[in-house]
Amino acid sequence: MLNAVAVVLVMLFAFPAHALDGEALLRQVDRNLSPESYESYRKLINVEPDGRRKEFTLFTVKKGVDRVASLFIAPASEKGRSTLRLGDNMWLYIPNVGKPVRITSLQSVVGGVFNNSDILQLDYAAEYNVEKVEEQGNEYLLHLKAKTKTVAYDRLRLWADRGKKLPTKIECLTEAGLLIKTIYFKDVKDFGGGIVRPAVIETDSPLYKGYKSVMIFAKVKAKDFKDEVFTLTFLPNIESLR
């Protein structure tokens, strides 16, 4: 009888009645951060230690959890360039080259602290499994582990607001636990259509002392697109979607 009671007690402590479903929470964070399919405009600003700034304006479309395409509309030197991401695969199209070239997640088409994986961000749940969830005051802390070796960061520590279920900060780590960069989510804004999300994302890195990169979002709008939009043959035509 005592053994049976002990087993019940162990089970109760091992499986709390209100245990969080980390995978469901991460999917909710993804959906709150953006509709499954949408368009947006972004300004990307790279700030150097001496205060010099370089700005880019991008038009971006996304469909599902792992298809993203972007078009550079400013500055004039970059206008017409476009990028495509299908899962782990990424390409850059340059008009006067005429043929898309492969790029990697850790490269950056704009320089600065944001890499291509950050700029062409997929749903976090598409790339990461949840290892553990902690409750820290008004936030959840999700410990994420990359599903494959091709993901830009082996581990993420993602803090999310418990009420809004939106990320507030992400630490990007190597497999050994080395901090690569920190991403901050700021200025939660109502974009209309039920989309309430951070309008500003900033990042800095201990590997790039004094450098900072900022993304400012505008006109985030749910919108569906045909599958053909996310193909190499359509890359020169993304302007037609605006």
Please give the tally of structural domains in the chain.
1
d(CA 227, CA 220): 20
Look at residue 184 and tell me whether its pLDDT is greater than 70.
yes
What are the pLDDT digits (tens) for 59-117?
999 999 999 999 999 999 999 999 999 999 999 999 988 789 999 999 999 999 999 99
Burial class (CB in 10 A: 0-12, 13-18, 19+), 24: exposed
Tokens of 165: 């279920």
| Distance between CA atoms of residues 57 and 5, nearest Å | 64
In a domain, 13, yes or no: no
Three-state secondary structure call for residue 18: coil
Answer yes or no: is 3 within a domain. no
Asked if residue 10 belongs to a domain, the reply is no
Which run of H or E residues covers position 12? Answer: helix 2-14
Place of tokens 């929470």: 25
Residue 157 located in a structural domain: yes
Predicted TM-score (pTM) of this structure = 0.88
In a domain? residue 149: yes
Task: Residue 218: give its domain's CATH number.
Answer: 2.50.20.10
- What the block records as the tokens of 242 is 């605006």
Q: Assess whether pLDDT exceeds 80 at residue 12.
A: no
205, pLDDT greater than 60? yes
Q: What is the mean pLDDT of residues 16-20?
A: 51
pLDDT score of 5 more than 80: no
Chain segment 122-168, per-residue pLDDT in tens = 999 999 999 999 999 999 999 999 999 989 999 999 999 999 999 99
Short-list 44, 45, 43, 42, CA closest to 53: 45
Question: Is residue 5, in this structure, part of any structural domain at all?
Answer: no
**Which residue range forms the structural domain that includes residue 180?**
20-241
